[in-house]
Amino acid sequence: MASKAFLIAILVAMVAAPSMATEHMVGGDAGWKVGVNYTVWAAGKKFYVGDTLMFMYQNGSDNVLKVDGPSFQKCVASNTTGLLTSGNDVITLAKQGKKWYISTVEDHCSKGVKLVITVAPAPAPAPLPPQSPGSSGASKISPFKSCMLIVAALVVFKMVLS
């Protein structure tokens, strides 16, 4: 029985896991280019470890370089190791903390093609809302999760029977 309880715990943990990582299209539809204010774009957005940043631009007209705070402020790139140039650059946010990105093309950085964000630790699994008959809490479970819960329940039921 212990092993079954363990399996049930794993299934429940899988279903209750936090929602999938977010892909952030930097600049929205405008992408990564002169004329977009990335301070305004980033305002109010939450960035978590595991999320991705997608820098979309015409290749050749911009690029993406991860820098430190002082380089970001001054728009200087003394170390171009890791320069991204594809025009379809995807960066996975691996660690929490402040991250700085600039374009090193001409004076694009000083024209505003620069992004600073603060990455938060991956969100902990949300506690289940209190369940009471007729409460609206249950409606917060997404259809996908409800579906997964049913599948998990069926799997467990089958294991118990076998």
Ligand X SMILES: *[C@@H]1O[C@H](CO)[C@@H](O)[C@H](O)[C@H]1NC(C)=O
Long-range Cβ contacts of 110-113 (<8 Å, 24+ apart): 110/75, 111/34, 112/34, 112/35, 112/36, 112/37, 112/38, 113/32, 113/33, 113/34, 113/36, 113/38, 113/62
- Closest of 101, 98, 104 to residue 77, by C-alpha: 104
73 binds ligand X (CB under 6 A): no
C-beta of 50: minimal distance to ligand X in Å? 20
31 binds ligand X (CB under 6 A): no
88 binds ligand X (CB under 6 A): no
Q: Which is nearer to ligand X, 81 or 131 (CB)?
A: 81
44 binds ligand X (CB under 6 A): no
39 binds ligand X (CB under 6 A): yes
Give contact residues for ligand X (rule: CB under 6 A): 37, 39-40, 59-60, 79, 81-82, 112
